[in-house]
Amino acid sequence: MRTNSPPAAQADGGFPTDFFSDPTRTLPERDEGEDGDEDAEMADGTTPTAPASAPQPKSVLDDEWAAFQQTVLQPSAQPDPAQSQQEAFARATVFAEPQLITNGATSGFPAEPEPEPELTEEQRAEQERRRKEVEDRELIMDRLLEEERAQEEADERVSALKGRLEMLKRQREAKKGKKAAK
């Protein structure tokens, strides 16, 4: 049931002053210098005044909010240029392109590839013989693998044919059993 009591006074945020049960949970009060207050001005140039609310105890969060507003949202007096320049240099990030610095040392890498020593006829013949042996071994291994594959395929075919032969024998025996039963 509704009573005919007068509505509670509203704060700047649009909420009644007693809307929040916890006084620390209220919306921060807006300053007159913020945007949007121009709309609140009356036609005669005066600004409406909000009803004064009871002073509320300040919490740590309120103090932090006030400090934030002072430093970021409302930069008051401009600090002297020397101090702001010093802060800018203190917060600056420096980027530099990498540069190759050589001091004549090769840093463990040879400057030019060393030429291979000249091989004698005997050494060349030995290398050629080793290369041919390796190629022959590879060919032999390839042939063995191919023969093994062929043998496995043949074994699979034989087992498939044996299975088919057994199936045909069973069918023939089943037909003979049916004829004998008649």
HEC sequence for the chain: CCCCCCCCCECCCCCECCCCCCHHHCCCCCCCCCCCHHHHCCCCCCCCCCCCCCCCCCCHHHHHHHHHHHHHHCCCCCCCHHHHHHHHHHHCCCCCCCCCCCCCCCCCCCCCCCCCCCCCHHHHHHHHHHHHHHHHHHHHHHHHHHHHHHHHHHHHHHHHHHHHHHHHHHHHHHHHHHHHHC
For residues 25-31, give the mean pLDDT: 65
Confidence of residue 78 (pLDDT cuts 50, 70, 90): low
- According to the model, what pLDDT value does residue 73 have? 73
**pLDDT digits 0-9 by tens, 139-167:** 999 999 999 999 999 999 999 999 999 99
pLDDT at 83 over 80: no
For residues 114-137, give the mean pLDDT: 90
For residues 82-101, give the mean pLDDT: 78
- According to the model, what pLDDT value does residue 173 have? 94
Maximum average pLDDT range among 26-35, 89-98, 111-120, 162-171: 162-171
- According to the model, what pLDDT value does residue 130 have? 96
Confidence of residue 30 (pLDDT cuts 50, 70, 90): low
- According to the model, what pLDDT value does residue 101 have? 74
